[in-house]
Structure 1
């Protein structure tokens, strides 16, 4: 009797898992269609004329942040550019000015430091007198199976940059953005819901920051707009193999770089 009951329990559990998998297969594509449609409609309805506005971009020395700086510059925005590498940041600033930005402030800083974040927001206000867009973009990447990690504490830095590096600037910028009815743009990743093996901490950090912005949008409704940029694989230092290793060291993995697409986003969702 006990064996029969145990077998029946296992069969019931298996049937439940199959039913859940079937439901997800039906519902998840529809959910993604909804997100994409809502985001595109929202982008059309809420498109900003950014000429003459002040835009602060973190992680602006390369990759997505660099090219966002160029796009804002072409549209006539003033720029405050933030990253840790001053030389690369100044090169981006010079290029942005050449593309049409009427004024560029370069501020080397570490977004994982609350003091640095407070300072670069304050510097922006002192220099330009206002803030219209905050673009939180800075991030680092990690590759390696969770069980192979030698010490999980090595990856606190990743969460400090990928999550808290969005929270701190947002915290200090909100009072200024409320005055201009401005916008927060959070660059996250589709790794927040498409779970890639060997990216345990990276996936978790992106899911955390995506939920942060989803909640913040409700709290700031009517005062500050919130847009989430959710890219797939794009060409950047990350896809060129720059990452935290299982030992917590920053390195360039040539093999990992070679197996990743070197050009282009698989898809990008904008959620206004």
Structure 2
């Protein structure tokens, strides 16, 4: 059979496609800019946000617009009924949203925070509104003795500890690598790595088979960030810590996993970036907006609940808005 005619027809078709694409390119018509993606139960705030910059450690009561944490359309179903969870950085942001959903799923809550008393009080009220108890503990997770006392007080209050959420973090950018001071570097590592290590080592002796540890990692621990070298190092370390600790605790029946969020609208970033950058926070994601804390918290429920994830340990779950 002569193959020349089909081959020529194929060439003609390819050139026709090519010609159309070239004509489209020359026309200069740019695709219409896509709107920020809304795929949740309610629409979420989108950039530009009000220009703002707040002093560390950041207070949620001063953020505009307020981060959304209460997940009004989430219906609890007893996934954590009768359990007790200790959440570091639980006063605001992801930690507050996790505390609320854990309480809605039946858990009593202990939150650890640095010094944001107003934020902690709001979180406590939100947990109590769900019909659960909430213990608030102020202190520095980079200090071993505070972590020991936090676990001790949680045990005294509730008599058990089933879930540890390591979430407290310190983040400040450094535009030039040579400007990253040892004090800055040390503060980031002590908070983000020592804090997780201390809390886990103090909590594990009190945890039983079926308990869970959920660590907060970050997309920066996967991709790196040129202005967050120290923070990226710690988040990559948290991912490695998660996998290593999961193997260490598997014989005890304690699962260890991590959530690695992309940009999330919490006090961490308005207290880290300049006001101009804050106004465009999250705009470069494919969804063209940052996540709200209530959009991230369900992943923690999933990883904490033995009903949902009994066969999952040592995993890193990225939630990064479509990257």
> Following TM superposition, by how much is the alpha carbon of 1:112 offset from its aligned partner in structure 2, in angstroms?
0.9
Say yes or no: does 1:194 pair with 2:223.
yes
Instruction: State the alpha-carbon separation in 2 of the partners of residues 150 and 222 from structure 1.
Output: 41
- 4+ residue runs over 3 A deviation: 267-270
Question: Conserved in 1, the CA contact under 8 Å of 2:164 and 2:214?
Answer: yes
Question: Conserved in 1, the CA contact under 8 Å of 2:243 and 2:257?
Answer: no
Looking at secondary structure, tell me which structure has more strand per residue: 1
Instruction: State the alpha-carbon separation in 2 of the partners of residues 199 and 89 from structure 1.
Output: 27
Match of 1:89 in 2: 120
205 and 125 in structure 1: CA distance in 2 versus 1, 3 angstrom threshold: same
Deviations along 1:166-222, whole A, 9 cap, x unmatched?
110001001011x35311110111111112221111101101111011100111113
From 242, 256, 263, the counterpart of 2:277? 256
Instruction: State the alpha-carbon separation in 2 of the partners of residues 152 and 48 from structure 1.
Output: 46
Tell me how many residue pairs correspond in the alignment.
Answer: 214
Instruction: State the alpha-carbon separation in 2 of the partners of residues 150 and 114 from structure 1.
Output: 25
Say yes or no: does 1:144 pair with 2:174.
yes
> Following TM superposition, by how much is the alpha carbon of 1:49 offset from its aligned partner in structure 2, in angstroms?
2.5
Instruction: State the alpha-carbon separation in 2 of the partners of residues 188 and 260 from structure 1.
Output: 19
Question: Conserved in 2, the CA contact under 8 Å of 1:189 and 1:232?
Answer: yes
Looking at secondary structure, tell me which structure has more helix per residue: 1
Give the TM-score normalised by structure 1.
0.73
Deviations along 1:138-173, whole A, 9 cap, x unmatched?
012121234341623332111111111111000100
Match of 1:4 in 2: none
Instruction: State the alpha-carbon separation in 2 of the partners of residues 207 and 216 from structure 1.
Output: 14
Question: Conserved in 2, the CA contact under 8 Å of 1:57 and 1:136?
Answer: yes
Instruction: State the alpha-carbon separation in 2 of the partners of residues 134 and 151 from structure 1.
Output: 31
Match of 2:31 in 1: none
Secondary structure in structure 2 of the residue aligned to 1:238: coil
Match of 1:112 in 2: 142
Give the TM-score normalised by structure 2.
0.62
* Structure with more relative contact order (C-alpha pairs < 8 Å, separation 6 or more): 2
> Following TM superposition, by how much is the alpha carbon of 1:226 offset from its aligned partner in structure 2, in angstroms?
0.7
Q: Which residues of structure 1 form unaligned runs of 5+?
A: 1-46, 244-251
Larger radius of gyration: 2
Question: Conserved in 2, the CA contact under 8 Å of 1:59 and 1:138?
Answer: yes
Question: Conserved in 2, the CA contact under 8 Å of 1:75 and 1:100?
Answer: no
Match of 1:23 in 2: none
Question: Conserved in 1, the CA contact under 8 Å of 2:177 and 2:227?
Answer: no
Instruction: State the alpha-carbon separation in 2 of the partners of residues 92 and 209 from structure 1.
Output: 25
Question: Conserved in 2, the CA contact under 8 Å of 1:133 and 1:182?
Answer: yes
Secondary structure in structure 1 of the residue aligned to 2:258: strand
Deviations along 1:20-39, whole A, 9 cap, x unmatched?
xxxxxxxxxxxxxxxxxxxx
Instruction: State the alpha-carbon separation in 2 of the partners of residues 147 and 104 from structure 1.
Output: 41
Deviations along 1:103-123, whole A, 9 cap, x unmatched?
111111211111110000000
Instruction: State the alpha-carbon separation in 2 of the partners of residues 144 and 158 from structure 1.
Output: 12
